[in-house]
Structure 1
């Protein structure tokens, strides 16, 4: 009978130990679940940030292209003025 009692005590201790480990695992699984939810939220925020960065890059590209466009317009105006002057001088010689 003493051996049966020892086996029962060992089985009870083993069950308590298993329950204790399961309780710890439940906490760890909950923490992992919370971490996965936080990662999903972070991924969504990163997508928003990437869209904002693309928009900022486009705005900066437009701003940096402006001086080049102004120089092109100035060169076209200068060429147009020179051509107009040459045509006017030729017409003045003819007339």
Structure 2
């Protein structure tokens, strides 16, 4: 059988252990909140990255169209030159 001193000692140890557990739980609650905040921030960044990805694809399409224009213009210029030469040759034959 335990005497009063042993019961008091056991009760004090249990109380100390309970306080320690509450302290650890409070720390874990703060960490869980930080993890939730981080998860929300990562989700927001992910949405912005997805938006950036579509913007980059659109920009690449526009750049390809713009860089393709000089070639198209050169082709038109060559075609116009050939057409003009053909007209000049045809005029020489008609005269």
Q: Is residue 68 of structure 2 the alignment partner of residue 59 of structure 1? A: no
Q: Is residue 93 of structure 2 the alignment partner of residue 90 of structure 1? A: yes
| CA displacement 1:15-55 (0-9 Å, x = unmatched) | 10000000000000000000000100110011111211222
The offset of 1:72, in angstroms, is 0.4
Q: Which sections of structure 1, spanning at least 5 residues, go unmatched?
A: none
The equivalent of 1:21 in structure 2 is: 24
Q: Is residue 92 of structure 2 the alignment partner of residue 72 of structure 1? A: no
- Which moves more between the two structures, 25-34 or 74-83? 74-83
What is the RMSD computed on CA atoms of the aligned residues? 1.2
Tell me the distance in 2 between the aligned counterparts of 1:59 and 1:77: 27
Tell me the distance in 2 between the aligned counterparts of 1:37 and 1:10: 41
Q: Which sections of structure 2, spanning at least 5 residues, go unmatched?
A: none
